[in-house]
Amino acid sequence: MSAIEFSDHDHAACMRSTMQAAEAQCAARGLRLTPVRRRTLEILLAEHRALGAYDLLARLSEEGLGTQPPVAYRALDFLVKAGLAHKIEALNAYVGCVQPGEDHAPAFLICRGCRSVAEAETKPAQSRLGEAARAAGFRIERSVVEAEGLCPACQESDA
Amino acid sequence: MSAIEFSDHDHAACMRSTMQAAEAQCAARGLRLTPVRRRTLEILLAEHRALGAYDLLARLSEEGLGTQPPVAYRALDFLVKAGLAHKIEALNAYVGCVQPGEDHAPAFLICRGCRSVAEAETKPAQSRLGEAARAAGFRIERSVVEAEGLCPACQESDA
DNA sequence: TTCGGTATTGATATATTATAACAGGGGTGT
DNA sequence: ACACCCCTGTTATAATATATCAATACCGAA
Ligand SMILES: [Zn+2]
Ligand SMILES: [Zn+2]
Ligand SMILES: [Zn+2]
Ligand SMILES: [Zn+2]
């Protein structure tokens, strides 16, 4: 749980292994990782940052993979539903998942300086919120846990 | 921590006391609860539900309090900054705060059936996410904790 | 009270994020 | 070939949010 996203790491290897895991997931579950979807995932994974749908679209467009918003939103919807990417609600932006497939309830650390995003694990049922939900008879189906702040690198350049 | 929002309660009294607390807060801190802001807060508090900015604007507009988006967004910004309302990031919508003033880090239970919202307390520093943040050297400034699901009432009508 | 700064409102325009709707293409199994 | 389903291309539009500037209201100091 050490937030590899904010640390120096062999990111080329990080991307390769994540893409392989994504492909394995799709193969196992009969999902089609088409060229647009695959490239979208690569773009998202290229940096551990949140990217807006229209920024993504601009990148896809440069590569001739589509020019209209639905292209980007469809690819993102697919990836999010497949658990290969996540939406960051606080930013209306999207980030590639670094542990694809495991059906997890992720929590995010989001740097407001550089938009880097690290993914942690939650156990929502254990949390104070889970207790409150049980007490109220509320049935949790999905949880959004996002913390905004400054990553180590941006704290230093914070003056 | 009993999520009064989903229970039967004397809501007229609930609103009155919340409005009084809000006024007290504003008085104490030199903030101006102008007519639009006050009415906005009343509308948000009228039900324990999330309301979109444009829905709010429609209500304000019926009452002659303004017709253009900035009217609604300014009032909402004021209330959110003052801690009298909260933005629900997962819905891009807004809800009145039932414990105004205390500088709290709220967590929300959001019903996807009726958009009712209950507010609980978090202690983000205690959470698993807080641990991950400390381990990574990340400095949390703001946290978003939202759980979507079904409230007791909507579970019953869920068929 | 008058002045001058600050906060608020009014109004226009525009930016950003997201979806609806429908036609075309390309496989797969019968 | 045919029907079926999924994916893509395209046009249009919806929903959410902000920038900007002028006019006004408020408030404290002179
Ligand atoms: Zn990496
Ligand atoms: Zn950073
Ligand atoms: Zn109430
Ligand atoms: Zn409900």
- The model's pLDDT over A126-138, given as tens digits with 9 standing for 90+, comes to 677 888 899 999 9
Tokens standing for residue A56:
């993504």
Select from A119, A104, A101 the least CA-distant residue to A49.
A119
Which CATH number covers residue A71?
1.10.10.10
Where residue A158 falls among pLDDT bands split at 50, 70, 90? low
**Out of A122, A135, A142, whose CB is closest to B128?**
A122
| Ligand 1 mean position, distance from CA B37 (Å) | 46
Q: Phi/psi at A153 (nearest 5 deg)?
A: -60, -45
Rounded Cα distance between B61 and B59, Å, is 5
Distance of residue B63 Cα from the nearest chain A Cα, in angstroms = 31
- The model's pLDDT over B64-104, given as tens digits with 9 standing for 90+, comes to 999 999 999 999 999 999 999 999 999 999 999 998 877 78
Give the CA-trace dihedral at B114, B77, B141, A156, to 10 degrees.
Answer: 140
The conformational region for residue A3 under phi > 0 = left, psi -120 to 50 = alpha, else beta, is: left
- The model's pLDDT over A6-51, given as tens digits with 9 standing for 90+, comes to 999 999 999 999 999 999 999 999 999 999 999 999 999 999 999 9
Where residue B21 falls among pLDDT bands split at 50, 70, 90? very high
Select from B14, B104, B34 the least CA-distant residue to B75.
B34
* Residues B41, B85 contacting (CB under 8 angstroms): yes
Q: A85 pLDDT exceeds 90?
A: yes
Provide, in whole angstroms, the distance separating residue B124's CA from nucleotide C30's C1'. Answer: 58
Nucleotides, chain C, CB distance < 7 Å = 7-14, 16-21
Rounded Cα distance between A129 and B147, Å, is 8
Share of chain B above pLDDT 90, in %: 82
Where residue B9 falls among pLDDT bands split at 50, 70, 90? very high
Where residue B53 falls among pLDDT bands split at 50, 70, 90? very high
pLDDT, residue B125, reads: 56
- Total of domains in chain A: 1
**Out of A109, A143, A148, whose CB is closest to B146?**
A143
The DSSP letter of residue A159 is -
* Residues A78, A117 contacting (CB under 8 angstroms): no
The DSSP letter of residue B146 is E
pLDDT, residue B98, reads: 93
Partners of B123 on chain A (C-beta within 8 Å) are 128
User: How does B55-83 read in b/e, with b if 16+ C-beta sit within 10 Å?
Assistant: ebbebbeeeebbeeeebbeebbebbeebb
Share of chain B above pLDDT 70, in %: 95
User: Which residue in this structure is represented by tokens 């978090």?
Assistant: B122
Exposed/middle/buried for residue B40 (C-beta within 10 Å: 0-12, 13-18, 19+): buried
Residue of chain A nearest B143, judged by CA positions? A147
Q: B123 pLDDT exceeds 80?
A: no
Residue of chain B nearest A122, judged by CA positions? B128
pLDDT, residue B118, reads: 96
Show the domain range for B57.
Answer: 4-158
Handedness of CA B94, B100, B102, B106 (dihedral sign): negative
- The model's pLDDT over A87-101, given as tens digits with 9 standing for 90+, comes to 999 999 999 999 887
The DSSP letter of residue B49 is B
- The model's pLDDT over B126-135, given as tens digits with 9 standing for 90+, comes to 677 888 899 9
Average pLDDT on B138-153 reads: 94
